[in-house]
Structure 1
């Protein structure tokens, strides 16, 4: 019989206390493993309705920058709470530190990036990274550092207390990355997500323009000494083996397990996205979770989630590091959500799936010269977070008597054989779309309840391959993304399937929050997130959700927090998914929320800058909320959710949309009649 030592209860409690997650939000994902979990529990489902606005800070970009420049921005930053400050970056890579109680600016650093470079993925900075040099004296300058990658491809190190560049890092506080290839224009290559740091090494990825050319820049991941900026190693994710391709870059945030000395990379697809005839094979290690030894760059393991990707199903979400009860005891795992809505759960040491992953046959018959993989990996234990098939029956039709609608015709006429239907000259429906499933906002994991939470987006893309003979004179219709894919026999166009009313072609909900019991392999609940208030004609607040690219935060107090494409920060009950509270924002908060403790009060904060690519209003704010103090009443910026009222407003909005549809239909009938009579 096995025996073991008994530990005093007091010692066990002390160890658990010392091992608990920090009350601070010290990394972009809450912690280095991207759990987005906070142990704070002052704000609960019972008192969340008492939240009031604590402050709103504006960066000044909206007033200082020309409108045509602001239309090329995305404010997606999540502040850190370090050194008694909220620290974040603007889309123009200005780093700003705020007083966490008042929102007053403490310091500001401007790297003065050019605003005429037209970055391919717009001006965006999702966040900065904090690191402490434990070998430096307690009061030394730059003992506590902020690292940031820039849109113009620099790695910058700042003193976290003052914002002054670290003189001993690189050249006066910055390292200029050597891309190793001539760029078509300065914005073809940029850095948009926060660096990863561990064991005195800082690691940066890259964001590269999609669908421009076969010989696109490679997705090399670069590592530097966190003290000096000296280059440590580089890693090329894509195994070349004589193929013609670029990319497989890491544009999404990375995760670090400092104890194991591992950094986890979510890699993207090879170039070009939608035709891969010059890159035969599975294209390892594109579309993969890649674990590297952070001190050397040596490959520890890799797991591929899509073989030979021609759908732009790259890994956009940060790998979530968690300790999970998998049914056979606690295991350290990597949880990787995907754009398809899959959840892959991998052993952190080996990269092997915790539960079986099957290779299943997928549609074939690619475009001329294509070499598709006959199978793709499908997780078998955890169900997909979102539906993966679409048909004419799923088309949105507000006025059935006018059927078939343009959406139904589109769903019928395009090639549509389910998940992984190949792109085609005919036109292929891609569902989930390339911004769907779980995007860069990533997932959150509650280590106490052992529940995973994720925001998902549901929309349809129409993908067309355009023969090279037609590409030179091709004029893409409004709303269509066009890529030359030079070096390939096809260019491409891509558009979200929209109705004439400006609504998505597929039936709602268009954005959902999903809670998953990973051990049981069970969806616990789904909750629609967002309305069409800031997107639909006439501002109609249809309670149908909106595609969610941003992420969420979960707290020990029992709340899940999320922004959306409308201008509200929301709180949901973590157990039931019921929406409990809304906090009005100046513009949509398409960023990840965070929470922190300051002088005995819990705050929640989010960047509110809108989303230029979907046509919302644009802003430049960080907004924070806290519980009302004695004698302080909730304001018009905060409200609890009355479900009956929500249904009333939804019905009213639906009537408004129906009337608008009738008007548009009438105008079109009159126009057709005039054409016929002439």
Structure 2
């Protein structure tokens, strides 16, 4: 069981009120001679919210070796501990034989969403290159216990950026750059920074890096080829102690103000859109003065409303704080509050293109013998941008490569619907 049952190894790595996930997305690889099956697993669920499954969470985010005859676990190797970012190991494993220090070594490789290549001895499960961990930021979410260390891999060289910075923002046009800078300032960013309440966290790789389609390896050279996406995502958490809206009740004055003034950015269900934060559970996070100040003065991309009538503002605050309609009694402060998230908005600019600098998709070549990233090239184009002279941007792509004995690599899955060699 990739989420261990009672009495099984790893059971104690889940401090559980909920425990699921750790699924194998994309299939296995088989060493027929040794009778060993290799599989990769996704993260624990729900994504981004770990208060109900605190701990290391074996065997999520792992490359696992099983005795194919008995199903017995031979070894496992975990990349991310207590994954709070939906950074699975989604790709099927690749089997290869490489040369290290003058001897041939049978290895298994698995590419991850964050852009690492897990390269392990097929028999022992030991890393071919040193696997380093680094101190990671601590979550500020009530009830969450983020894992203190996360992977900081140097070899094989990562094929993706792993921390979103201001230097990554698009400069495609002045308008796109200004738009991206505004949203960037309103978000949190950082290397393995956990999501926070009420403010979007901007990070890479929810759709890869590598994806389900995986990589291919040239058995003669030990070179691995893998496609990757390079697009940011904006993930917001909120403490959701609010009950569902009752459609049988008539709309209140504050609800009408909200729908005409706020819903365009924060959604009619108050779940938020893109970096506009969710407003459900607001009464647990802020007071009336905070809401009033935000509405009157605005902040970052939120416009100010200095001319809103005082009666409308009071009605709006009462609506957001659940004072204008029946509400169940407030629960006692729980040790593990219930959280929600606002969906999976990608960090796109105002024209619908990624709001980070290209390339937005690449084909990458890694020499497994040395761990060197030999090259990466943009993969795909947006035809309409190419017509305007903006070429070789790469696009999001969901097609795995194939390598031939003649040294050709074929790849597809891009926005322009082309197969490239």
> Which bin holds the TM-score, normalised by the shorter protein?
0.7 to 0.9
CA distance in 2, matches of 1:341, 1:360: 16
Q: Deviation string for 1:403-452 (max 9, x for gaps)?
A: 8622112222211122x110112434343220021111111111112211
Corresponding position of 1:433:
205
- CA, structure 1 residues 328+426, in 2 after alignment: closer, same or farther (shift >3 Å)? farther
Corresponding position of 1:550:
399
Match of 1:298 among 51, 59, 72: 72
Matched, 1:388 2:238: no
Contact between 1:411 and 1:429, CA under 8 Å: does it hold in 2?
Answer: no
The aligned runs of 1:416-431 (5 Å cut-off) are 416-418=189-191, 420-431=192-203
CA distance in 2, matches of 1:382, 1:471: 48
Q: Deviation string for 1:384-420 (max 9, x for gaps)?
A: 11122222332113333x58622112222211122x1
> What is the RMSD of the two structures over their aligned residues, measured on CA atoms?
3.0
Match of 2:142 among 368, 384, 389: 368
The alignment partner of 1:496 has SS state of coil
CA distance in 2, matches of 1:237, 1:549: 35
- In structure 2, the gaps of 5 or more residues are 246-268, 281-335
Match of 2:354 among 499, 504, 525: 504
Structure 1, 428-437 or 469-478: larger mean CA deviation? 469-478
Match of 1:489 among 338, 341, 346: 338
Contact between 1:436 and 1:549, CA under 8 Å: does it hold in 2?
Answer: no
The aligned runs of 1:99-110 (5 Å cut-off) are none
TM-score, with structure 1 as normaliser = 0.46
Corresponding position of 1:348:
122
CA distance in 2, matches of 1:506, 1:313: 19
Contact between 2:176 and 2:355, CA under 8 Å: does it hold in 1?
Answer: no
- CA, structure 1 residues 385+264, in 2 after alignment: closer, same or farther (shift >3 Å)? same
Q: Deviation string for 1:296-355 (max 9, x for gaps)?
A: 111110000110011111111011111111234111111111111011111111111111
Q: Deviation string for 1:462-503 (max 9, x for gaps)?
A: 0100211258463556789x999xx96110122101111111
- CA, structure 1 residues 472+542, in 2 after alignment: closer, same or farther (shift >3 Å)? farther
Contact between 1:360 and 1:375, CA under 8 Å: does it hold in 2?
Answer: yes
Contact between 1:267 and 1:286, CA under 8 Å: does it hold in 2?
Answer: yes
Corresponding position of 1:562:
411
Task: Give the C-alpha shift of residue 281 in structure 1.
Answer: 1.4
Contact between 2:129 and 2:155, CA under 8 Å: does it hold in 1?
Answer: yes
- CA, structure 1 residues 394+220, in 2 after alignment: closer, same or farther (shift >3 Å)? closer
CA distance in 1, matches of 2:102, 2:200: 43
Q: Deviation string for 1:616-664 (max 9, x for gaps)?
A: xxxxxxxxxxxxxxxxxxxxxxxxxxxxxxxxxxxxxxxxxxxxxxxxx
Counting matched residue pairs gives 335
The alignment partner of 1:513 has SS state of strand
Q: Deviation string for 1:358-379 (max 9, x for gaps)?
A: 1211122341111111101233
Q: Name the structure with the higher strand share.
A: 1
Q: Deviation string for 1:189-226 (max 9, x for gaps)?
A: xxxxxxxxxxxxxxxxxxxxxxxxxxxxx8679xxxxx
The aligned runs of 1:44-59 (5 Å cut-off) are none
Q: Deviation string for 1:214-257 (max 9, x for gaps)?
A: xxxx8679xxxxxxxxxxxxxx9973655221121112221111
- CA, structure 1 residues 472+321, in 2 after alignment: closer, same or farther (shift >3 Å)? farther
CA distance in 2, matches of 1:360, 1:542: 37
Corresponding position of 1:321:
95
Match of 1:406 among 163, 166, 179: 179
CA distance in 2, matches of 1:471, 1:310: 25
Contact between 1:274 and 1:312, CA under 8 Å: does it hold in 2?
Answer: yes
- CA, structure 1 residues 519+446, in 2 after alignment: closer, same or farther (shift >3 Å)? same
The aligned runs of 1:66-105 (5 Å cut-off) are none
The aligned runs of 1:149-548 (5 Å cut-off) are 239=11, 243=16, 244-400=18-174, 402=175, 405-418=178-191, 420-470=192-242, 472=244, 474-476=269-271, 489-493=338-342, 494-533=344-383, 542-548=391-397
Q: Deviation string for 1:126-154 (max 9, x for gaps)?
A: xxxxxxxxxxxxxxxxxxxxxxxxxxxxx
TM-score, with structure 2 as normaliser = 0.73
